[in-house]
Structure 1
Amino acid sequence: MTFGTNLQLAGGILVSAITGWLASLTGIPLAWILGAMAGSAIYANAVGLGGKTKYMRRLGQLLIGAATAAVLTPDILGQLISYLPAMVVAAFVANALGVLLAFPLARIARVDNKTALLSTLPAGMSEMASLARETGAQADVVMVVHTLRVVMIVVLVPFFFGIDRSIVEAVVNPAASHVALAACLIGGLVLSIVTSKLGVLNPWVIMPMAVGIALASFNVSIALMPWWVLVVAQILIGFSLGARLKKEDFQRVPRAALAAVICSGGLIAIMVFGFTPLLALFVNESPTSLALGVAPGGLGEMIASAKALGAASAVVAGFQFTRSFLTNVIAPPLLVRFAASSKGPKT
């Protein structure tokens, strides 16, 4: 990157930090993420962001992953294992809805079936966009739909569920190891770099947590992440999300944006407001934790939201990763079937 693009990137982060701070003064839920997202979107459209915003997102994910690792204990790991059947059921329900919603999205957006399917499957935007490019689908449509869905979740869920007052604040353990926390960060970074080249899903969030799981399995107590680091992580997540909201992208595929609002809105409503109450009958967690767990958003964004709202971030991470993993497993065979079916109208 040139000096000019670095300066542009730094300016965008600064604006995001300022707008995040201003939003935090209002007391709204998820203030740092929402404020940073708004500031980044305004900056990206008014000034432009020529830098590699993906690196900022990865840094935010790495910090969030390490912060989640810090709350892991043998008891929590056992709890997550007991929730695995519910996680798998939630993942299949979300994917089934995604497949069904691909048909109306194809008609509304006037895209082929492959593009519609990759747009509605509830996995990470980067993975689905990459698969779109590999299979000849319209990656720009996929990115617009996924971006709008995550933005809708980040905006709507906190205002419906708010800050989770039922979560007891973690007790600071004087014996907790800051070296272990550093190991989650540094080890997570190294593993993320290596595994990202191997195509591992969401390594920047998962690998710090993987190190944390290994340490917790040996009863190593990990020091909690300082609050200001979590604020930095939320700013970076909000910044990277707002940077995707470029008006030229939506002007280029306006019908895709309309389809995203309609179909993604339906998916969010069913999963968050329909499936969450059913899940609560079998999983003893707060509504906020379950809603963020089943919400069809990005792994990093949902865990960051959980940390900001006081929800059980480890539980949210478990649900989100299970769904993302299963979606990426079933996506290729589904694409084969959709490619063999009628192409659908083109834009």
Structure 2
Amino acid sequence: MTLGANLTLAGGVATSAVVGWLLSLTGVPLAWILGAMAGSAVYSNTVGLGGKTKYARRLGQLMIGGATAAVLTPGILGELWSFLPAMIAAAIVANALGVALAFPLQKIAGVDRKTALLATLPAGMSEMASLARETGAQADVVMVVHTLRVVMIVVLVPFLFGIDRSAVADAADPQASLVALAACIAGGLVLSVVTARLGVLNPWVIMPMVVGIALVAMNVSIAPMPWWMIIGAQVLIGFSLGARLKKEDFARVPRAALAAVICSGGLILIMVFGFVPVLALLVDVAPVSLALGVAPGGLGEMIASAKALGAAAAIVAGFQFIRSFLTNIMAPPLLVRFAVGPKGNDP
């Protein structure tokens, strides 16, 4: 990147941080993420962002992954394993709803069925947009729908569930190692660079947690991430999300934006208000953690929200990863079955 591009990118991050700090003074839940998102959206649509915002997002994800690794214990890992059936069930329900909602989105947005399906499947935006480009679908529509869905979740969930004030911080472990925390981040960075080239999903969040799991398995206690680093990660996540809210994208596909609000809103409401109460009968987890776990949002955004709201970040990460993993496995055969006609053309 050129010096000018770096400066505009730095200016966008700084603006996001300032707006996030101002909003945090009001006591609004998730203030740093929401404020950063708002500041970034305004900045990118007025000044512009010349740099590649993906690097800011990756850094934020890496830090969130490290912060999540720091809360892992043998007990939490065992709990996550016991929740695996519930995680798979949540993933199946979310994907079934995504397939069902593809049909109304197709009508409202006026797009082909292939584009509609990739827009409604609850996986990561980058993965679905890449698949859209590879299959000849409308990647811009897919990106708009996924972006609006994540924004809606980030805005709605904290106001619907608030901060998990029942969460009690664990007593500080005198053996907790800052070196181990640094190893999670540094090792996660190296593994992310390698595995990203191999097509691994969301490596920037997952790999620091993989290192953390390995350390916990060796009875190494990981020190908690300093609060200012967690806030920094939230600002970067909010900044990257706001940078996607480009007015020219929404002006180009206004019907897709309307379809996103209607169909994504339906998916969010069904998962959060319909499925969470059922899930709560099966697993003993606070409602805000379950809501963030089953909400069809981005892995990094949902874990960052969990850290900000006092929710169980490791459990949220487990639910989000399983759904994203299964969705990306199921997407290609779903495209063949539901979106492509017998002669290879959209019906």
Normalising by structure 1, what TM-score?
Answer: 0.98
* CA drift at 1:343: 2.8
Q: Whole-Å Cα distance in 2 between the matches of residues 185 and 72 of structure 1?
A: 14
* CA drift at 1:140: 0.2
Aligned to 1:343: 346
Amino acid aligned to 1:139? A
Q: Whole-Å Cα distance in 2 between the matches of residues 339 and 103 of structure 1?
A: 10
SS in structure 2 at match of 1:71: coil
Q: Whole-Å Cα distance in 2 between the matches of residues 275 and 133 of structure 1?
A: 32
2:185–2:208: 8 Å Cα contact kept in structure 1? Answer: yes
Aligned to 1:40: 40
2:184–2:208: 8 Å Cα contact kept in structure 1? Answer: yes
Matched, 1:215 2:215: yes
Aligned to 1:91: 91
| Higher mean C-alpha displacement, 173-182 vs 25-34 | 173-182
Aligned to 2:300: 300
Amino acid aligned to 2:127? E
Amino acid aligned to 1:50? G
SS in structure 2 at match of 1:219: coil
Aligned to 1:143: 143
Q: Whole-Å Cα distance in 2 between the matches of residues 69 and 82 of structure 1?
A: 18
* CA drift at 1:334: 0.5
Aligned to 1:184: 184
Aligned to 2:30: 30
Q: Whole-Å Cα distance in 2 between the matches of residues 111 and 119 of structure 1?
A: 10
SS in structure 2 at match of 1:301: helix
SS in structure 1 at match of 2:25: helix
Q: Whole-Å Cα distance in 1 between the matches of residues 170 and 305 of structure 2?
A: 17
| Superposed CA offset, 1:272-312 (max 9, x none) | 11100110001100000000000000000000000000000
SS in structure 2 at match of 1:98: helix
SS in structure 1 at match of 2:165: coil
Aligned to 1:163: 163
Q: Whole-Å Cα distance in 2 between the matches of residues 103 and 50 of structure 1?
A: 37
Amino acid aligned to 1:37? M
* CA drift at 1:3: 0.9
Aligned to 2:269: 269
Q: Whole-Å Cα distance in 2 between the matches of residues 114 and 83 of structure 1?
A: 33
Q: Whole-Å Cα distance in 2 between the matches of residues 130 and 172 of structure 1?
A: 43
Q: Where does structure 1 lack aligned partners over 5 or more consecutive residues? A: none
Q: Whole-Å Cα distance in 1 between the matches of residues 301 and 255 of structure 2?
A: 25
* CA drift at 1:339: 3.5
2:178–2:222: 8 Å Cα contact kept in structure 1? Answer: yes
* CA drift at 1:174: 1.4
Amino acid aligned to 2:169? E
* CA drift at 1:117: 0.4
Amino acid aligned to 2:90? A
* CA drift at 1:41: 0.3
SS in structure 2 at match of 1:163: coil
Q: Report % sequence identity.
A: 79
Amino acid aligned to 1:195? T
SS in structure 2 at match of 1:26: coil
Amino acid aligned to 2:291? A
Q: Whole-Å Cα distance in 1 between the matches of residues 171 and 23 of structure 2?
A: 28
Aligned to 1:204: 204
Aligned to 1:175: 175
* CA drift at 1:45: 0.4
What is the aligned-residue RMSD (CA, Å)?
Answer: 0.8
Aligned to 2:58: 58
| Superposed CA offset, 1:115-171 (max 9, x none) | 000000000000000000000000000000000000000000000000001111132
| Superposed CA offset, 1:67-99 (max 9, x none) | 000000000000000000000000000000000
* CA drift at 1:8: 0.5
Aligned to 1:225: 225
Normalising by structure 2, what TM-score?
Answer: 0.98
- The structure 1 segments of at least 4 consecutive aligned residues displaced by more than 3 Å after TM superposition are none
